[in-house]
Structure 1
Amino acid sequence: MSIPILFEDNHLLVVEKPPGIPSQEDETGDADMLTLLKQDLKERYNKPGNVFLGLVHRLDRPVGGAMLFAKTSKAASRLSESIRSRSFGKTYVCIVQGIPAVQNATLKHYIRKDNKRNQVTIYNQPAEDAKEAILSYEVAAASGKHALVAIRLHTGRPHQIRAQLSHIGFPLVGDLKYGAAKTAGISDIALWSTSISVEHPVTKEDLLFTSSPSGSPCWDWWSNDQLARASTLLITPDRKD
């Protein structure tokens, strides 16, 4: 399986995750990103024994785009700390059913995950076992009954973008789990990881990695200029939200 590499050095590996592949091994037993990339590193560098590769963050199985891994334990630890301190910037683009009247806003909810159902519940107020979930969005374009929306995550909760936008009445195209109507010809969820901005764990250089939506026919609903604008709309120089 060919997985495009966006960046690689001795400490980091940044790739473009294809939709449909789990981030890590799950109960399905299907090939997953972590295992595939470990195998690739082992073969490309002729490494004996086990290969270290740290899973820094996850993308839902149906989601594609930029994904970062750590090639050393030191890098993994420092990148995990950047996520906890919210200096690890993540932006996405998605297509929603309906057109939000509010063109840009910050959403704050509380999310509780049901692991048995692999689904989350959203609350407007703090609730038992629910974690704070914050994102900012901006409508980049609208056409017919759909909108192209840029997202900047401030927290990284399970199914966060999908659940929060559905909660305010705008489920993602293709996301039947969170209330979307079926769309002919669309099998993937219309959500793509477009950028990761982070300080290099060793050199301290500010890095930005980008990826453009592809694959699903729903991205063809928009022009290249519209997709490019949406992909860069919420990338800001200051990563410390």
Structure 2
Amino acid sequence: MPFHPFSSHVLYEDHHLLIVNKPAPLLTQAPPGVPNLEELVKSYIKEKYAKPAGVYLGVPHRLDRPVSGVVCFARNTKAAQRVHAQFAEHTVRKVYWALVEGLVAPDAGVWDDWIRKITDEARVERAEAEAPGAKLATLEYRVLQHLDSVTHLELAPLTGRMHQLRVQTAWRGHPVLGDTMYGSPRAFGPPAELPRDHVVALHARRLIITHPFTKQELTVEAPLPAYWSPLLDTATAR
């Protein structure tokens, strides 16, 4: 069987689930003709299992285009229903790693903010609790390392709001490196000519779900992209 180029991104695979490490700046889903993760995964399944017809793939969650890391797909409708329910009920645990501007203090805590989407824009803004469309965003954070004017954070969202991690760090003066939309002054990752091809220093590091059929807890971790290494290799662990 020929080696599919996407094989190296597969983190976990069985008859019900396919969990992969999404590269940035790839879209999770897109219209036909636009490169996206869903089509790559379908291509991988079609080739590996020699499926002549279409491939079913459930997509219970997504990552922003400039963000890398763990994405879980379902390979049949029953698995899709059960995994989607876990995301809807917020029983899935997600852990992200981020490199942010400045030195974050204290070393751990919980951030609460009211967020709402800006009409007709792919951005969010701070809102008052009683404002129309406002939703509470809650995030646990922990400092992993202090670097030179940069902090390596572990982030665990307790809610699932649009751009939540990116704005909750930025609003405290610590935007994610490379996230010019929310105030980062510096570039991050490989050079890119088009704004849509820039990446940010946010990575979905770990996903913890209940397997839809075995009911066992499943923890999947995604290795960091290579372009994080120059910063982390110079770090002194706390």
TM-score norm. by structure 1 comes to 0.86
Let me know the Cα RMSD of the aligned residues: 2.2
Matching residue within 208, 214, 220 for 2:230: 220
What's the offset of the Cα at 1:157? 1.5
Describe the shift of the 1:226–1:69 C-alpha distance in structure 2 as closer, same or farther (beyond 3 A).
Answer: farther
Aligned partner of 1:203 among 187, 210, 214? 214
- The residue identity in structure 1 corresponding to 2:146 is A
Residue pair 2:146, 2:235 contacting (<8 A) in 1 also: no
Q: Is the 8 A contact 2:147 2:235 kept in 1?
A: no
> SS at the partner of 1:82?
helix
> C-alpha distance in 2, partners of 1:143/1:182?
15
- 2:157 alignment partner, one of 145, 153, 164: 153
In the TM superposition, what are the counterparts of 1:1-241 in structure 2 within 5 Å?
1-2=5-6, 4-26=9-31, 29-114=33-118, 116-123=120-127, 125-183=129-187, 187-216=198-227, 218-223=228-233
Q: What is the deviation of 1:226?
A: 7.1
Give the TM-score taking structure 2 as reference length.
0.87
Q: Deviations over 1:39-89 (max 9, x none)?
A: 221222122322110111111111111111111111111111111222101
Residue deviations 1:202-234, cap 9 Å, x none?
Answer: 110111000121232x4421149979x9xxxxx
Moved over 4 A (4+): 184-187, 224-227
Identity among equivalent positions (%) equals: 32
CA distance in 1, matches of 2:12, 2:102: 36
CA distance in 1, matches of 2:17, 2:221: 15
Between the aligned partners of 1:17 and 1:154, the Cα distance in structure 2 is 22
Aligned equivalents of 1:204 and 1:150: distance in 2?
27
**Residue-by-residue CA offset, 1:180-219 (whole Å, 9 max, x unaligned):** 1023766420011110001101110111000121232x44
Alignment partner, residue 234 of structure 1: none
Distance 1:55 1:212 in 2: 21
| Matched-pair contact (CA < 8 Å) for 1:4–1:15 | yes
- Give the unaligned 5+ runs of structure 1: 230-241
Aligned residues: 226
Indicate the SS of the match to 1:54: coil
1:98-150 deviation line (CA, Å, top 9, x unaligned)? 11222211112222223632111123534211222111001111122110000
**SS of corresponding position for 2:170:** helix
Q: Which residue of 2 aligns with 1:236?
A: none
Distance 1:183 1:56, change over 3 A: same
Using a 3 Å threshold, how does the CA distance of structure 1 residues 185 and 207 change in structure 2: closer, same or farther?
Answer: closer
